[in-house]
Amino acid sequence: MTGDERENDLIRSVALQNASSILIARQRAEQELLEAKQALEKKTEELAQSLSMMRATLESTTDAILVTDEQGVITDFNENFVEMWRIPREIMDSRQHRLVRDAISQRFENPKQYDSRIDEIYSAAAPQASDVLELADGRVIERFSKVQSVEGRIVGRVWTFRDITERRLTEKALIEADRRKDEFLSVLAHELRNPLAAVLMAVRLLQRKGPPDPALQNLRAIIVRQTLLLTKLVDDLLDVGRITTGKMRLEKKHVALNTILKEAAEVCTLLIERRNHTLSVQFADPSLSLYVDAARIVQVVSNLLNNAAKYMNDGGQIELAASEEDGNAVIRVRDKGFGIPREMLDRIFQRFVQISTPGRGADGLGIGLSVVKTLVERHGGTVEAASEGLGKGSEFVVRLPLFVETNE
């Protein structure tokens, strides 16, 4: 082989190599293109799928939904929206939120007010806003609006509307039923009060004038005791009625703090003795006085003492103490009884709330503490319950403003 021939061979082989590498490069490029195309097709399919899911979601909720962009162009809505607001098709087709707003505002007694609220929401760019809308036709709609952003940039707003008319009606009916129940209880208490007073008077008369047979004496004592208990229940009910109707009147006058303690202890003597409890009283400085409805504050303290005696096994200890703390009169009632679970400490002050534990006699209505709380608060004070838990006793603390004499 001559030198020329060798050179030609070389050139040919290089050319062949080039050609094949170009071919390979081209094939590779085509492959990549194909993959990119497939990936794009997959993405498009996924997008179509999630779009259709979104459509389905929009249409499968009972809420009415409208989606707008920041320029106020409608980008989406569901059929519920059109139905809820009865918006003509051509207005929806215009895709202009302004026109839709005008149509919606006609459903209100005060269209301007509705409109300016929307302006407010747009201009405040609040991330979310919610309102309750009352329509002229009686419907009540809850509106919620939430900004949508992509990578920190606001792209639009979703407006959802929920018809809560039914809920509103139910709430109103519940409130009305509750009011009627209060009224009934109050009428019932009034009606029971008089016959009870008559029974009590009659049996007291019998105690004095009836046959002195010991068996009869005993029976009469039972009637007196039970009638007094019934009277107490009825009085509590009457108080609840006065409280719920705002008819509780206070007759305030000056009274020594210690007088309150004495009278409250006296009211409860019978129960405390019957249960074999001991009551120790720690009086306050005799100069301390209150400006209160004394009978009502005695009622507060005796209610607490009564509870202490009731919610403790026989033969227990009750402590009643009064003192001055930070310019307030503080009255504490402590027992070593059943105690109160932590989660009930606040709740027991609500009407009709009782702790149900086996062995705990339920001979009340769950009213006493709610009356205590109202009475104390009406006097500008507070009442709190504390307990280490079930079986660990309880403490009730009443704080009332002290009466301070000013020498002017």
Ligand X SMILES: Nc1ncnc2c1ncn2[C@@H]1O[C@H](COP(=O)(O)OP(=O)(O)O)[C@@H](O)[C@H]1O
Q: Which is nearer to ligand X, 300 or 367 (CB)?
A: 367
Strand order in the sheet with 74-77: 74-77, 64-69, 153-163, 140-150, 128-134
Residue 53 to residue 56: CA distance in whole angstroms: 5
CB of 340 to ligand X, least distance (A): 5
Residue 41 to residue 407: CA distance in whole angstroms: 93
CB of 365 to Mg ion, least distance (A): 8
Q: Which is nearer to ligand X, 196 or 365 (CB)?
A: 365
User: Which residues, numbered 381-400, are part of the site for ligand X (CB under 6 A)?
Assistant: 394
- Positive or negative, the CA dihedral 288, 292, 297, 299 is positive
308 binds ligand X (CB under 6 A): yes
Q: Which is nearer to ligand X, 142 or 182 (CB)?
A: 182
CB of 306 to Mg ion, least distance (A): 6
CB of 303 to Mg ion, least distance (A): 6
Among 364, 379, 393, 399, indicate the residue that binds Mg ion (CB under 5 A).
364
For residue 196, give every residue at least 6 positions away whose Cβ sits within 8 Å of its Cβ, in sequence order, or none: 227, 230, 231, 234
Residue with the shortest CB distance to ligand X: 364
Name the binder of 203 from ligand X, Mg ion, none, CB < 5-8 A by kind. none
Contact 108, 135 (CB under 8 A): yes
231 binds ligand X (CB under 6 A): no
Helical ranges in 278-359 per DSSP H? 294-310
Contact 140, 134 (CB under 8 A): yes
Can you list the pairs that 112-120 forms with residues at least 24 positions away whose Cβ atoms lie under 8 Å? none
Among 156, 241, 316, 368, indicate the residue that binds ligand X (CB under 6 A).
368
- Of 33-41, 72-80, 130-138, 363-371, which part binds ligand X (CB under 6 A)? 363-371
316 binds Mg ion (CB under 5 A): no
User: Within 13 A of 303's CA, how many CA atoms are on the CB side?
Assistant: 29
CB of 339 to ligand X, least distance (A): 6
Question: What amino acid is encoded at 158 in this protein?
Answer: V
Name the binder of 311 from Mg ion, ligand X, none, CB < 5-8 A by kind. ligand X
User: Which residues, numbered 311-330, are part of the site for ligand X (CB under 6 A)?
Assistant: 311
- Positive or negative, the CA dihedral 348, 353, 354, 355 is negative
Name the site residues for Mg ion (rule: CB under 5 A).
307, 364, 368
